[in-house]
Structure formats: structure tokens, C-alpha cells
Amino acid sequence: MKYDILIEKLSLSRTVGVLTGAGISAESGIATFRDPDGLWAKFNPAELASMDGFLRNPELVWDWYNYRRKIIAESKPNAGHYALATLERLLPHTTIITQNVDRLHASSGSKNILELHGNIIENHCVRCKKPHTDHIDFEEKSPPKCSYCSSKIRPSVVWFGENLPKGIFEQADMIARQSDVFFSIGTSAEVYPAAYLPQTAKQYGAFLVEINPTHTSLTPFADLYIPAKSGDVLPEIVELLEKEIR
């Protein structure tokens, strides 16, 4: 049977970790970062995804996030997201650890989700950190003001040089250590600390599976490398698992 070792490992597993990156949302029409047509080929991360960049030019940064929010608001989960939600229904000990800020895992029905890089839907004050829950007008060119301290509002995403949300990486690291099977899906595995997770999982004995049409620095360490689009291969894997365990 195709993927027979993986299906066996999954059916015997007690913990499954799934690290996802921009590639899983590519088939939903959301650009990745480091592919040749990715966001970082066209835009400067230091200008658009750092506190310094925001303080230098808040209008430019806010406008760029509104541009991305609009695309994300109009996008829908794809077959890869839905397959992972089904995986969690079949194996409730599955946790998605995502670097994505688009919330498409939640929209597709996944429940156990750790957002390593925050999300683009929520916002908070750059100074007092209070959440800003007012409606966001995607056409607005400058950031709104905080209703408590009048400072600027920023998206609740993690920027370069910032810490990950409190406790989230620790939980993800624990999952990686406990995983019997660990997936790395649609990520270039270049951004740390997220990129430590598949390495940790492998070091602690997980069966490491990478799904990515392109080789990464992780590929030589994968027990199973599947050079395919996640939206094509994940439904097939989950269907095989369902047949095996039902």
C-alpha cells in the first residue's frame, strides 16, 4: 500500500504534531514568502514586518497589512486544510502548529491549533498592548488610535526581532518532543525558532514527514519526503488512514 509505513505509524500514534507554513495556504490563493513569486521577492521584510519599519512608516505598514487582510478575508480553506481537520477528528491527539497568520486552519474545522506567529485578524496597541476590537476598514490608509492611550494600533502578528506569543513555543516544543509522527508541511523551514520543531521531533524519535514540492534543508532528515502539493496529497493520506482505522 502507498504510504503504508506512515499509515501504520499514524494508526499506532499517541501524539501527532503538524508544523505548517505558507505553502499550505498557497492553494487558497495566498502568496508564500520565499518562493520566486513570494512576498519577500517583492517587498522588504525590514520595512514591512518589523517594529522599526512600523515606527518609521506606520501608514505604509498598515496599508500593506490591509492589502493582505483583504486577500485573506476573501480566501477559503483548501483540500489540505480540510484534510488536516479530518486527521484531527480521526486522531484527536493531533496538534497543528502553524506559522500562518490567516486562520484558515480554524476555518476548516481544526481545533488544536498553536499560532506561532500570531494572526492578521486581531490587532492591539503598540504601546499599552490592549486589544483593539473595533471594525477594521481595509481601505483606511493609516492605523487607528488606541481608545485607552491614543497610540497606534498594529496587527497582532509577530514581526522580525519579536518574541513569539507567551508560552506558545513551549507548548509546540513539548508536542514536538512527544510526537510519534511529526509533519512539516509547506514551510521552507528557514525561520527560527519554528524550524527547530521538526529537528526536535526527529531527535526525540518521531517519524518525520515532509510535504513540499521543493527540497528544503530539512529534506535529508525526513523519514518520508513527499514532493507534492499539500492539497493534493493530504486528502489521499487521510483517506488511507480512515480506511485503516475504521
How much of the chain is in helix, strand and coil states, percent to nearest 5?
40, 20, 40
**Which residues in 109-128 contact ligand OAD (CB under 6 A)?**
117
Q: What single letter denotes the amino acid at residue 230?
A: S
- Grid coordinates standing for 97? 502548529
Contact 135, 73 (CB under 8 A): no
**Interface mask (CB under 6 A) for ligand OAD, residues 11-50, using x and -?**
----------xxx--xx----xxxx--x----------x-
Q: How far is the CB of 148 from ligand OAD (least distance, A)?
A: 26
Q: Is 216 in the site for ligand OAD (CB under 6 A)?
A: yes
Q: By C-beta, is 23 or 143 nearer to ligand OAD? A: 23
CA–CA distance from 154 to each of 76, 81, 101, 125 (Å)? 24, 27, 14, 6
Q: Is 108 in the site for ligand OAD (CB under 6 A)?
A: no
Helix residue spans in the chain (DSSP H): 4-12, 23-26, 39-42, 45-48, 51-56, 58-73, 79-90, 104-107, 168-178, 196-203, 230-245
Q: Exactly one of 117, 124, 132, 215 is catalytic; which is it?
A: 117
> Is there a catalytic annotation at residue 93?
no
Q: Is 103 in the site for ligand OAD (CB under 6 A)?
A: no
Catalog residues that contact ligand OAD under the rule CB under 6 A.
21-23, 26-27, 32-35, 38, 49, 99, 117, 158, 186-188, 190-191, 211-214, 216, 229-231
